[in-house]
Structure 1
Amino acid sequence: MKYILIFIFALSLQFSFGQTKSLNAYEYVIVPMQFSFQSEPNQYRLNILARVLFQEEGFIVYMDKEEKPLALRLDPCKSLRADVIDEGGFLTTKVKVLLSDCSGNTVYKTSVGVSRIKDFEKSYKDALRNAFESFSTASYTYDESLNTFKDSANDADDISESSHSNLEEKYPNKSIYKFGGESYWLVSNSSGGYDLLSNQGKINYAQLKKADKGSFVFNSKTINGAGYFDAEGNLLVEYMDRDLNGIQKVTFKKID
């Protein structure tokens, strides 16, 4: 009996190590606006809470409807997708958190979080926080050396070094911005506004059309809103997100 218990303990350690090692290979988590058990988006405000809790664990987190960096849009397999499972329970709320890869394989799952609070919203939030306690033993730290994903952002438009030099020469007065781990070039266009270029000038990510009082109409494939520059030269974009039911703001930080 003693040897059986030792074997089971060793096996559980091996499983835990493998799970944590896989988890550390991922930097991003995508949180859906509606988990599989919910009847409406952000029910009990659980999805936004999950986003905050994942951020506290050190992940870079995006909602599924939110603007994402170019590298992540081109290769969704660089991220994990979160789900919260309702385990049910008599007079209790029980949930657990699953993180799955792009093939649907479970990379990590928490223990079941339990709450006995009677109010539904408070109970689900309490249970979710309790489920996240599992991450304290997972010791998550992103390890880039474990990342074996192909860099699709660099392969998306394979051009020669001479072509890249030509782009540098084409936009000598460009300003460089950062957002979501990606670099963007801001260049003037013929209409008196700006073009925001990604992937080292290869892709026209967005256009800024001059409006009034120093503001611009910002148009991209995923964001349509108002843009303006702050005192430090950062580009701030505000837009209405219907899924999040409110005004969202993103900041392109000026680097050069």
Structure 2
Amino acid sequence: MKKILLLLVLFLTANAFSQNVNDYEYVIVPAKFSFLKVDDKYRLNTNSRLLLQKYGFKSVFPSDSMPSEIANNNCKKLYFDLAEDNKLLITKIKIVLKDCREKVLFESDYGTSKEKELEIAYNKALREAGKSFDKLNYKYNDKNNSSITQEPSKTIVSETDSETFYFAQPIANGFQIVDNEHKVIMKLYTTSQKNVFIGLKGNTNGVVISKENHWFFEYYENGKMISELLNLKF
């Protein structure tokens, strides 16, 4: 009987989380997490934003432009945070989503990593924690922002030279992409999805995804999404 009650409580709790989170379209990702001293240290904030976008949220930094009804009403936004619980030689973090009253609407499972290099460790733990979104099944229900109208975002497709091919070489947690002269062009980091990578090209962060048997590097530039075709061979 106790097991049945416990399962019922867990079921109702999970549905309550989902229902509440679904009321929000925008999630604010801080420029810096409290346990780190530098903005976007280890690119953890940028990768958190990309992770949210992967699961359908509109994730933004506090300095980004937003519809006025969102920007001027804190209670129409969710707030993203990471909680750290590191142990000896283990990096351990979880994702927390709160409303404007600091009420926790969603907590992920802890993601962990034993990697020694902190940038790799934190981002691996973030990806592990992000797998909890698979169970959340987020879908915005337009409850909070039904009166808001926005211009549809435009995607600019950028095609590379059809004669230029890039090759993927395995590295820790992903691949480095090189050209015909073996020059490193960008790096890809694995995610929980087979054909989705976090892409890093110079100072540009985005995702590399497979669509219709082609690879694309997608990222935001001046508020517009760029989809860059890659002649990529693994």
Q: State the alpha-carbon separation in 2 of the partners of residues 180 and 109 from structure 1.
A: 30
Which residue of structure 2 aligns with residue 250 of structure 1? 223
How many Å separate the matches in 1 of 2:101 and 2:153? 24
Return the alpha-carbon distance in structure 1 between the equivalents of residues 152 and 138 of structure 2.
24
Which residue of structure 2 lines up, in the alignment, with residue 212 of structure 1? none
Match of 1:81 among 59, 79, 82: 79
Distance 2:71 2:138 in 1: 24
User: Is the contact between residue 24 and residue 78 of structure 2 (CA under 8 Å) also seen in structure 1?
Assistant: yes
Note the 1:107-146 alignment, pairs <5 A.
Answer: 107-144=105-142
Structure 1 residue matching 2:131: 3-state secondary structure: helix
What do the CA deviations read for 1:111-135 (whole angstroms, capped 9, x no partner)?
1001111110000000000000000
Q: How does 1:76-225 map to 2 (within 5 A)?
A: 76-144=74-142, 147-148=143-144, 178=151
Residue 192 of structure 2 corresponds to which residue in structure 1?
A: none
TM-score, normalised with respect to structure 2: 0.63
Contact 1:34 1:42 (C-alpha < 8 Å) held by counterparts:
yes
Give the Cα separation in 2 of the matches to 1:93 and 1:39: 17
Contact 1:35–1:83, Cα closer than 8 Å, also in 2: yes
Q: Is the 8 A contact 1:33 1:42 kept in 2?
A: yes
Larger deviation, residues 70-79 vs 26-35: 70-79
Q: What residue number does 2:25 align with?
A: 27
Task: Look up the SS of the partner of 1:178 in the other structure.
Answer: coil
Displacement of 1:102 after TM fit? Answer: 0.9
**Which residues of structure 1 form unaligned runs of 5+?**
155-176, 182-246, 252-256
Distance across 2 between alignment mates of 1:148 and 1:128? 28
CA shift, 1:179, in A, is 6.5
CA contact (8 A) 1:69 1:179 kept: no
CA deviation after TM superposition for structure 1 residue 95, in Å: 0.2
Matches within 5 A, 1:226-245: none
**CA distance in 2: counterparts of 1:89 and 1:38, whole angstroms:** 16
CA contact (8 A) 2:76 2:144 kept: no
Which of the two has higher C-alpha Rg? 1
- Aligned AA (1:30): I
Residue from 14, 18, 39 that aligns with 1:16: 14
Task: Please identify runs of 4+ aligned residues in structure 1 that moved more than 6 A.
Answer: none
CA deviation after TM superposition for structure 1 residue 248, in Å: 5.4
- Indicate the RMSD between aligned Cα atoms, in angstroms: 2.4
Count of equivalent residues: 160
Structure 2 gap ranges (5+): 155-219, 225-234
Say which SS state the counterpart of residue 36 (structure 1) adopts: coil
How many angstroms does 1:97 deviate by?
A: 0.6
Counterpart among 48, 59, 62 of residue 61 in structure 1? 59
Tell me the CA shift for residue 61 of structure 1. Answer: 1.2
Identity, % of aligned pairs?
29
> Any idea what the Cα deviations from partners look like across 1:32-70, whole Å, max 9, x if unmatched?
110121111111110000000000000011111212221
Between the aligned partners of 2:223 and 2:51, the Cα distance in structure 1 is 20
Q: Which has the higher contact order (CA 8 A, sep 6+)?
A: 2
In the TM superposition, what is the alpha-carbon distance from 1:89 to its structure 2 partner?
Answer: 1.3
Higher helix residue share? 1
